[in-house]
Amino acid sequence: MRLASRDKMGKHTVYWLIVLPAVLMLVLLYLVPLGNVLLTSVTDPKPGLDNYALLFTSASVQRSLVTTVRIAAITTGFALLLGYGVAYAMRAASTRTQRLMLVLVLLPFWISILVRSFAWIALLGTQGPLNSALVAWGIVDEPVSLVRNETGVLIGMIHVMVPYAVLTLYANMRGIDAGLVSAARSLGASRWQAFRLVFLPLTAPGLVGAGLLVFILSLGFYITPALLGGGKVLMIAEYVAVQINDTLRWGLGTMLATTLMIAVLGTLWTLSRVVDVKRLFGT
C-alpha cells in the first residue's frame, strides 16, 4: 500500500510542486498564527489550564458566553423562519421570478457588513427616518432606542444571516419532488396538511443544516454587535478584542478565541458527519 502511494507521489511530483505555494502560505501565514493562539491560551501568564478554569469561575466571561449563545439562538430562529418563507417562494416561483429573488438575496450578501451596519444606524437611530415616522404618526411620544442595544444587534445580525439560511434551505428544497405535494393534494389533503405532513418533513435536513450554519457563524460575529450594540452587548468576539486591546489579558483573550474556534469547527465537523455539506450548499 505504502509503496504504491509513494509511486503515485512520484508520478505526480510536478503537480505537488504547483500545489506547494498555496500550502506554504496556508501553513506559515494561517496555521502558525492559529497554533500561536492555542499555545498562548495554555502558557500566558503561566503554563497550565488556569485560563480555561475562568470559563467556569469568571462571572463576566460567563455573562459574555450567555449573551453570545442567546443572540446566536434568537438570530438562528428568525433567520430560519424568514429564510424558509423566501426559499419556499423561490422553489415555487417561475424561473424568471426565481432569478430576481436570488439577486435580491445575494445583493445584501455582497454589500460590506460595515456599510450595512452603518445603514441600520442611520435608519434606526433616534434622528433616523423610522423614528421620525413613528413620532409623526403619534405611535410613540419620544424616539425609541433601536440601536446601541440588543434589539439593534439582533436586527443587524438577522439581516446578515437570512441569505445564508435562504441559500442552504433552497439548495435542499430544490431536490424535493413537488409532485409529492401535488399527490397529497389530489388525495384530499388540505394545502396546510400537504405542507406539514409531506413537504416540511422533507426539508428537515435543510433546516438542520441552515440552523447550524447560521448559529456557528453568529457565534463569531464582531463588527455588527460592536457597532449596533454600542459597547453594551458584549458578544464573545468583542469581549476578546477588549481583553487584547484594553486590558492586555492575552491569556484570557486567546483562551476564549480557542474555545470559540473549537465550538465552530467541532459543530462543522459533526455536521459533515451527518450530512453531505457540499450538497447542502448546493455546489
Partner 1 sequence: MNRLQPSGLVMAFAWLVLSFLALPAFAVIPVSFTDTRYLAMPQDELSLQHWRTFLSSEQWLGSIWQSLWIAVVSTLAAVTAGTLCAIGCWRIASALSEKVRGLMILPMAVPTIVYALGLYRLYVDLDLVGSALGVVLAHSVTGLPYVVLTVSASLSNLDPRLEQAARGLGASIAQTLRHVIVPNIIPGVLSGAIFAFIHSWDELVVVIFIGGRALFTLPRRMWDGINDNLDPVIAVVATGMILFTLLVLTAELSLRGRRARQGG
Query: Which residues in the 218-247 window bind partner 1 by CB under 8 A?
Result: 219-220, 222-223, 227, 237, 240-241, 244
Residue 77 binds partner 1, judged by CB under 8 A: no
Residue 19: burial class (beta carbons within 10 Å; 0-12, 13-18, 19+): exposed
- Nearest to 207, CA basis, from 67, 68, 85: 85
Contact 183, 194 (CB under 8 A): no
Contacting residue, 61, 64, 72, 88, with partner 1 by CB under 8 A: 88
- Minimum separation from the CB atom of position 194 to partner 1 (A): 9
Binding mask 30-49 for partner 1 (x = CB under 8 A): x-xxxxxx--x---------
Applying the rule CB under 8 A, the residues between 122 and 141 that interact with partner 1 are 122-123, 125, 127-129, 132
Distance CA 278, CA 272 (A): 9
Residue 271 binds partner 1, judged by CB under 8 A: no
Contacting residue, 47, 179, 188, 201, with partner 1 by CB under 8 A: 179
Contacting residue, 61, 162, 171, 233, with partner 1 by CB under 8 A: 162
- Minimum separation from the CB atom of position 260 to partner 1 (A): 6
- Minimum separation from the CB atom of position 103 to partner 1 (A): 8
Residue labelled with grid coordinates 415555487: 92
Contact 172, 213 (CB under 8 A): no
Angle at CA of residue 74, ends 221 and 175, nearest 5°: 90
Neighbours of 240 (CB within 10 A): 23
Applying the rule CB under 8 A, the residues between 98 and 117 that interact with partner 1 are 101, 103-108, 110-117
Contacting residue, 7, 15, 190, 270, with partner 1 by CB under 8 A: 15
DSSP annotation of 178 reads T
Query: In one letter, which amino acid is 80?
Result: L
